[in-house]
């Protein structure tokens, strides 16, 4: 899965680095599919479900982009189209996510319609799990059962269901195509991998200390002085803010690495700057290296403090942040 610009990492770079290890790429927007196709003429590219129209269909046929069909309307549009070449289709069943996908009866109808259509070169049956990262939930097993039962009644088709969490914790759902996303980027959504299986962060988000202030008891920091000094304190100002994709709602205490040591965020994040309590570290000086997340500070941990997930942090890195690829 390299949607949302490779989870914010740069889809071209990600695709180039993993191309020898994957059979295809998944994207969410036709624009992403077309850009990727220009750079990767050979790989399968799957366009996840969006609003299907005749233009998108024609583009997919021309560029050999696989389509996810998740409505009866979409299935009919495809069956009735006259395309330059047939498409590989991923027919999506709703097994409990209730976001995209056909119910059992619609799924069977769409399957019949599409398996007899000259516009379809291959049909893959797929679904998407709602709870695969939740330890102890039997939801994933039930969803997979619903997919396989309906699919088998319609013949023998390749199956696809597992996202990263299911890949890690539900190996019986791997089937023919797995769809790893976040795990490619070094986050384990199940927090269950240990030892040699631990994943490594791909993205590190860095900045520098640009100012240091000594505060007396009672003085505050930043907008509305949300954080107040209870004891004489030192505050480091870092050149990163919500304009770069650092979450504005990060609470005081969110970990920040300065010179490799953890210090707590102190005060509201502003557009270009954030502030950190460095009272516990006398050695910090202007120009010192800051890591907002990455190696030694998992994005998932920052995300947990902020009530979000690493996916949102990764995809939120803004345009103005300079990218360095190694």
Instruction: Pick the closer one to ligand PLP by CB: 203 or 278.
Output: 203
Please state, as a whole number, how many other Cβ atoms lie within 10 Å of the Cβ of residue 44. 15
Structure tokens at 107: 């799924």
Q: How far is the CB of 210 from ligand PLP (least distance, A)?
A: 34
By CB under 6 A, residue 182 contacts ligand PLP: yes
Structure tokens at 302: 């920052």
Structure tokens at 143: 């969803």
Among 164, 169, 254, 275, binds ligand PLP (CB under 6 A): 164
Per CB under 6 A, the segment of 71-79, 157-165, 261-269, 313-321 that binds ligand PLP is 157-165
Among 180, 186, 241, 255, binds ligand PLP (CB under 6 A): 180
Closest CA to 291 of 268, 315, 313, 267: 313
Instruction: Pick the closer one to ligand PLP by CB: 23 or 282.
Output: 23
In angstroms, the CA 297 to CA 305 distance is 12
Per CB under 6 A, the segment of 176-184, 205-213, 226-234, 314-322 that binds ligand PLP is 176-184
Structure tokens at 44: 């399968």
Q: What's the distance, Cα to Cα, between the start and end of the chain in Å? A: 21
For residues 144, 145, 147, 148, the Cα torsion angle rounded to the nearest 10 degrees is: 110
Please state, as a whole number, how many other Cβ atoms lie within 10 Å of the Cβ of residue 134. 15
Asked about 223 being catalytic, the answer comes back as yes
By CB under 6 A, residue 306 contacts ligand PLP: no
In angstroms, the CA 238 to CA 32 distance is 33
Among 8, 181, 247, 298, binds ligand PLP (CB under 6 A): 181
By CB under 6 A, residue 48 contacts ligand PLP: yes
Per CB under 6 A, the segment of 14-22, 69-77, 159-167, 302-310 that binds ligand PLP is 159-167
Closest CA to 126 of 82, 78, 177: 177
Q: Which residue minimizes CB distance to ligand PLP?
A: 181
By CB under 6 A, residue 163 contacts ligand PLP: yes
Please state, as a whole number, how many other Cβ atoms lie within 10 Å of the Cβ of residue 296. 12
Letters for 99-128 (x = contact with ligand PLP by CB under 6 A, - = none) are -----------------------------x
| Binding interface with ligand PLP (CB under 6 A) | 1, 3, 48, 128, 163-165, 179-183, 189
Active site residues: 3, 223
């Amino acid at each position: 899965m390299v949607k949302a610009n490779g989870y914010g990492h740069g889809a071209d770079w990600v695709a180039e680095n993993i191309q020898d290890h994957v059979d295809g790429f998944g994207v969410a927007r036709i624009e992403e599919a077309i850009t990727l196709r220009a750079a990767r003429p050979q790989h399968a590219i799957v366009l996840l479900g969006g609003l299907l129209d005749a233009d998108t269909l024609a583009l997919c046929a021309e560029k050999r982009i696989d389509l996810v069909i998740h409505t009866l309307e979409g299935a009919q549009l495809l069956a009735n189209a006259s395309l330059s070449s047939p498409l590989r289709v991923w027919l999506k069943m709703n097994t409990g996510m209730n976001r995209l996908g056909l119910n059992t009866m619609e799924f069977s109808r769409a399957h019949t319609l599409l398996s007899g259509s000259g516009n379809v070169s291959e049909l893959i049956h797929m679904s998407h799990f709602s709870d695969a990262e939740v330890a102890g939930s039997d939801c994933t097993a039930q969803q997979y059962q619903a997919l396989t039962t309906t699919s088998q009644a319609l013949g023998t088709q390749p199956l696809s269901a597992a996202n990263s969490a299911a890949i890690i914790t539900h190996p019986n759902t791997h089937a023919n195509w797995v769809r790893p996303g976040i795990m490619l980027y070094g986050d384990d959504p199940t927090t269950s991998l240990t030892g040699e299986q631990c994943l490594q962060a791909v993205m590190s988000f860095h900045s520098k200390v640009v100012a240091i202030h000594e505060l007396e008891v009672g003085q505050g920091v930043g907008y509305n002085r949300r954080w107040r000094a209870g004891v004489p304190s030192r505050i480091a100002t870092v050149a990163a803010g919500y304009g770069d994709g650092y979450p504005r709602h990060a609470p005081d205490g969110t970990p920040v690495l300065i010179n490799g040591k953890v210090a707590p965020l102190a005060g509201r994040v502003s557009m270009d700057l954030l502030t950190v309590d460095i009272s516990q570290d006398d050695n910090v000086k202007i120009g010192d290296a800051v890591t907002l997340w990455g190696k030694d500070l998992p994005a998932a941990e920052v995300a947990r403090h902020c009530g979000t997930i690493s996916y949102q942090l990764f995809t939120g890195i803004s345009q103005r942040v300079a990218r360095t690829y190694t």
